[in-house]
Structure 1
Amino acid sequence: MYTTQLLDKVKTPLVNKFYKLHGASGRANKQDQVWVIYLDEQIVAACRVQHKSNFLFYPRFMLLKNTAQKG
């Protein structure tokens, strides 16, 4: 089952490991708001959100290829 969750700041290294494992550039830091989608207990998508002075910036969104178009 898919679940969406705002990641606790102390779990930021999990997203960086996810990015590295799947060949994505960039890193999340603790100032970012990080949303993840889990399939069971595995991260299958992650989105970083940075709060700028007048807008929200989404520098990275990653979805595993084998997860796309599955719901």
Structure 2
Amino acid sequence: MSNLSFGILDPIKLPLVSRLYKAHYSSGKAKKDELTVVAYHEGKLIAVVRFRSVEQFRLLTGMLVVPEHREQGIGHKLIEYCQHSVLQHGDFCFAYEHLEAFYAAHDFKAVEPHQLPNSLKMSFERYVNSGKRLVAMQYQA
């Protein structure tokens, strides 16, 4: 897909991301204290991923590609952009089980929950205990 652009969102534009989440991923909540990376197609916001700081660690969270743009490689391109400009060795994500291969293709490795830092381990356990089928992963550039 041509006419794609990527960048770090200016926090003043967070309402755009909030509207995107409200329309397509109601559990996603954009916050000012997070690093938000976005993808645009022909000037229209079509994908987002956030990085939340938890103590001295970072957690990739809230990745979304709007439904009409899925299955076109946009998620891969967004993560590739992040690999070159945002991701740091040791960053974490809690991937849905069906997305483990997606993140593994971008240098995330599955880790056992007991290997997570305590602050992340508690969050991971809370999500899993609520019924989410997740895999703890760590970025290893």
Matched residue type, 1:39: H
Which protein has the bigger helix share? 2
Letter in 1 for 2:41: L
Identify the structure with bigger relative contact order (alpha carbons < 8 Å, sequence gap 6+). 1
Q: CA–CA distance in 2 between the matches of 1:17 and 1:34?
A: 14
The 5-angstrom pairing of residues 1-71 of structure 1 reads 1-71=3-73
Structure 1 runs (4+) greater than 4 angstroms displaced: none
Between the aligned partners of 1:26 and 1:34, the Cα distance in structure 2 is 12
Partner amino acid, structure 2, of 1:48: R
The TM-score normalised by the length of structure 1 is 0.86
How many aligned positions are there?
Answer: 71
The structure number with the bigger radius of gyration is: 2
Unaligned runs of 5+ in 1: none
Q: Alignment partner of 2:39: what SS?
A: strand
Q: Residues 25 and 64 of structure 2 are in contact (CA less than 8 Å); yes or no, is this contact kept in structure 1?
A: no
2:49 and 2:63 in contact (8 A); partners too: yes
CA drift at 1:25: 1.5
Shift in Å at residue 49 of structure 1? Answer: 0.8
Find the residue that maps to 2:62 and give its secondary structure. strand
Q: Deviations over 1:20-45 (max 9, x none)?
A: 12243231111011110000111110
TM-score, length basis structure 2: 0.46
**Structure with greater strand share of residues:** 1
Compared with structure 1, are the counterparts of its residues 53 and 11 closer, same or farther at alpha carbon in structure 2 (3 Å cutoff)?
same
Q: Which moved more, 1:5-14 or 1:60-69?
A: 60-69
